[in-house]
Chains A and B, each alone.
Chain A
Amino acid sequence: GGIITQTPKFLIGQEGQKLTLKCQQNFNHDTMYWYRQDSGKGLRLIYYSITENDLQKGDLSEGYDASREKKSSFSLTVTSAQKNEMAVFLCASSMVRQGAGNTLYFGEGSRLIVV
């Protein structure tokens, strides 16, 4: 088995501040994802990375940057934190697998609080 570790668990920042969330996985998976979770809106994809050195925008990428430093790590930066961005951010990883779609493995989430 493996694990996905997200740090920090709670990230508190001021409006306008640049804030970074980090994610590490030891599954040796190629693909990593960042999702945003808002109550009543489900999970929405912010960025994903198919392999090391790849970056792809999801549906919710505006206001965020991402960085795939190496195969095992994927960071997400909120470029200018706003109070309406307070949410839980979930990191996930998966194998690239033919034919049956991919199963995602998630971390426990990081909660962003903007004061």
Chain B
Amino acid sequence: GDSVTQTEGQVALSEEDFLTIHCNYSASGYPALFWYVQYPGEGPQFLFRASRDKEKGSSRGFEATYNKETTSFHLQKASVQESDSAVYYCALGETSSFSKLVFGQGTSLSVVP
């Protein structure tokens, strides 16, 4: 079945550091790809999506580019802030009329001042 792999379980950075969280997927079709963010005590919330090869999704300074060749959708941010500390989930969904999302394991980001 479809799957999503996030390489990093935990990432620790200082403010203004560059962030990369790796996401690779395996899917039989041509999925939509998502990033969700979960702050402590809250449910995951949608960050952004991309639906086709080479499309860039972005929100709140975060961005990722759909790469069908390398089956990747890596999350990046140029300069992280302490308020970005959260758990980040990569997910994929089928681009049919209905889809259930398949999530990666999650990456816990901790940013210190």
Which A residues lie at the B interface, using CB under 8 A?
A: 4, 31, 33, 35, 40-45, 48, 50, 58-59, 90, 92, 96-109
How close is B90's CB to chain A, nearest CB, in angstroms? 9
Residue A45 contacts which of B34, B41, B89, B100 (CB distance < 8 angstroms)? Answer: B100
Please list the residues of chain B having a beta carbon within 8 angstroms of any beta carbon in chain A. Answer: 1, 4, 6, 9, 31-32, 34, 36, 41-46, 49, 51, 89, 93-106
Residue of A nearest to B51 (CB): A100
Q: What chain A residues lie within 8 Å of B46 (beta carbons)?
A: 103-105
CA of A40 to CA of B95, assembled, Å: 27
Secondary structure call for the A interface = loop
Which residues of chain B are near A103, meaning CB under 8 Å? 34, 46, 49
Interchain CB contact under 8 A, B97 and A98: yes
**Total CB contacts across the A-B interface at under 8 A:** 72
Of the candidates A44, A58, A102, A106, the one whose C-beta lies within 8 Å of that of B43 is A106
Consensus secondary structure, chain B interface = loop
- Across the interface, do A43 and B103 meet the contact criterion of CB distance under 8 Å? yes
In the complex, which residues of chain A have a beta carbon less than 8 angstroms from the beta carbon of B51? 99-101
B98 to chain A: which residues have CB within 8 Å? Answer: 31, 50, 96, 102
Known contacts A99-B51, A100-B95, A101-B93; A48 and B100 CB within 8 A of each other? yes
What's the least CB distance linking A90 to chain B, in Å?
6
Which residue from chain B places its CB closest to the CB of A98 in the assembled complex?
B97
Contacts of A43 in B (CB 8 A): 44, 89, 103, 106
User: How far apart are the CA atoms of A49 and B94 in the complex, in Å?
Assistant: 16
Please indicate the chain A residues that have their CB under 8 angstroms from the CB of B96 in the complex. Answer: 98
Q: Across the interface, do B43 and A100 meet the contact criterion of CB distance under 8 Å? A: no
A100 to B92, CA, bound (A): 11
Q: In the bound complex, how far is the Cα of B101 from the Cα of A42, in angstroms? A: 12
> Can you offer 12 A-B residue contacts whose CB atoms are under 8 A?
A40-B105, A43-B44, A44-B103, A58-B100, A101-B31, A101-B51, A101-B99, A101-B101, A103-B34, A103-B49, A104-B44, A105-B45
In the assembly, what is the distance between CA of A99 and CA of B96, in Å?
A: 6
Task: Give the 3 A-B CB pairs with smallest separation, nearest first.
Answer: A101-B32, A106-B43, A101-B93
